[in-house]
Amino acid sequence: VDEYQDTNHSQYMIIKKLADLHKNICVVGDDAQSIYSFRGARIENILNFQKDYPEHKIYKLERNYRSTQTIVDAANSIIARNKRQIQKNVFSEKEVGTLIKVMSAITDNEEGYLVSNEIIDTRMRDHFMFSDYAILYRTNAQSRIFEEAMRKRNIPYRIYGGLSFYQRKEIKDLLSYFRMVINPKDNEAFKRIVNYPARGIGDTSLTRMEQFAASQNICIWDFVTNIPQLLEQFNKGTASKINEFTHLIQAFREKLETHDAFELASEIAAGTGIMKDLYKDQSPEGVSRFENIQELLNGIQEFSISAKEEGTPNKLNNYMEDVALLTDQDTDKPEDNDRVTMMTIHSAKGLEFKNVFIVGVEENLFPSNQNGQKTMEDFEEERRLFYVALTRAEQHAYISYARQRYKWGKLEFCNKSRFIDEIDARYLNMPVEKDPNFYSDSSDTLFSAPRPRQQSAVAPGLKSASVSQPDLYQRLSKLRETKKEGDTFDYSNPEEIQAGMIVEHQRFGRGKVLQMEGKMPDLQATVFFQNTG
């Protein structure tokens, strides 16, 4: 029996029954790669093999022929923390190799940029093919950030074992609602969403609508919003359901100019019943679809805030124009194999790549906290999953995490995963940590910190605070209250910002102004942020 660590209870009972008479059985497996409990796999099957067959013999194949010594030793150092395992001493006789590079990003968007930039740099320097790279993530929804980063850098990629983010059904469904709200004469969008979620308008009714509209040389929307014509073609019950749908779309259309993209998108996702429909399915696939919608809304919030900061329109139609530029590139050529591979870690088992990026390595994301309270067994499986991800790398491994990430449209601070700290530090190339004493009175401490991040003060986003400490805390407290109540942010006049001030940025948090340069409208502030640099 191969891959014995992935057998479920039924398979275990069948195998045990078959071997019961002669006790003649051979199983092959690696308990450190048991990662499919959500499919019913039981690691106990391989762990208890020795108890089930007391006269067993174990042959440990401990040499790793794939990875460098550094990668193998790092993987050993983390899996050693699992209590339930068959002890092994995996080793490699390949070269020592480079240290595992850990990359810390300010936001999830910057994480995408850092990864794509590293691919461009190392490919040019070390003459790799794009197909030598893989990006591994814990959840399917994470692909959006990296797909957009790849497209912006013209890096070809493929989603292994799945669809590109904007090609997934639930994403297409919600985008079709957006299209319909922006342009109700979009027949294709109408046909896709008129009965999703189910509202009792069947295929036969849709075909009749389409045929009648074509016969009158009008779009379907013009037909269904003409009540007398609608009542002539359909009975009162069906006409009433169609009428409810058109009123729903019209209600959203009235908010196109008054709501930003995120506000309206959130209302559409909730008001149409899509969120409720997806939430009912608690299977792994259903949860993944729900997370995809969450990630789409996160992207829309990012767009809305960035557009506001840059002084550009941030309405839903502006977002859809932005998405159209990205999705126009969804024309993969099957014969083009030189592409970066992107996939979930579960899909990566058994595969290998010269360069592997393990991304989103943050607490509550990896290890996942998807179903609330975690047991020791849950964390051990997450650790095995990390072990599988790391051992996909042949030559170079990278680990990245973001300090801030949008969740349901709200920016939340993140902590790097415990798994990074569990790897023996000898095998890691860690980023420089920010000085925790940044806000001390000593200017020496301030300027010994890493190079500051430059922000343009002309783009709204900085809120100045008084140098007076009591007033500063009062303002910050008021700001936090405002955020909780209405999630709003009051912008300061850039001309009022001075060097030495403590300021707050909507995305980067608190920071200290180091210097001001230029004059309006090209005034720039150099700010060192406490959480992001």
pLDDT in tens, 164-181: 999 999 999 999 999 999
pLDDT at 272: 94
pLDDT at residue 452 tops 70 = no
Beta bridge partners, 463, equal 504
Mean pLDDT of 278-293: 91
Beta strands 340-344; 100-107: pairing state:
unpaired
Residue 240's nearest CA partner among 254, 224, 253 is: 224
Distance of CA 304 to the CA centre of its chain: 18
Percent of the chain residues topping a pLDDT of 70: 85
Q: With contact defined as beta carbons under 8 Å apart, do 5 and 46 qualify?
A: yes
What kind and span of H or E run contains 435?
none
C-alpha span between 446 and 440 (Å, rounded): 8
Burial of 400 (0-12, 13-18, 19+ CB in 10 A): buried
Model confidence over 383-422: pLDDT tens digits?
A: 999 999 999 999 999 999 999 998 877 888 999 999 999 9
pLDDT at residue 29 tops 70 = yes
Q: With contact defined as beta carbons under 8 Å apart, do 455 and 463 qualify?
A: no
Give the confidence band of 505 by pLDDT, cuts at 50, 70, 90.
Answer: confident
Q: What is the CB-side half-sphere exposure of residue 258 using CA atoms within 13 A?
A: 6
Mean pLDDT of 82-108: 94
Helix 316-327 vs helix 169-182: angle between axes, to the nearest 10 degrees? Answer: 130
Model confidence over 214-241: pLDDT tens digits?
A: 998 999 999 999 888 888 888 999 999 9
Taking the CB of residue 280, how many other CB atoms lie within 10 A of it?
9
pLDDT at 526: 83
Beta bridge partners, 511, equal 503, 529
Give the confidence band of 330 by pLDDT, cuts at 50, 70, 90.
Answer: low
pLDDT at 373: 61
Q: What is the CB-side half-sphere exposure of residue 533 using CA atoms within 13 A?
A: 17
Domains, the chain, ordered by start: 4-59 (no CATH), 100-160+330-429 (3.40.50.300), 167-318 (1.10.486.10), 497-529 (no CATH)
Q: How many helices (H) and strands (E) does the chain have?
A: 21, 15
Give the confidence band of 459 by pLDDT, cuts at 50, 70, 90.
Answer: very low
- For 305, list phi and psi in degrees, rounded to 5: -70, -45
pLDDT at residue 466 tops 50 = no
pLDDT at 530: 65
Q: Is the pTM of this model over 0.85?
A: no
Tokens (6 digits) for 149:
């980063």
Three-state SS for 16-85 is HHHHCCCCCCCCCCCHHHCCCHHHCECCHHHHCHHHHCCCCCCCCCCEECCCCHHHHHHHHHHHCCCCCC
C-alpha span between 122 and 116 (Å, rounded): 10
Q: With contact defined as beta carbons under 8 Å apart, do 317 and 132 qualify?
A: no
pLDDT at 308: 87
pLDDT at 250: 96
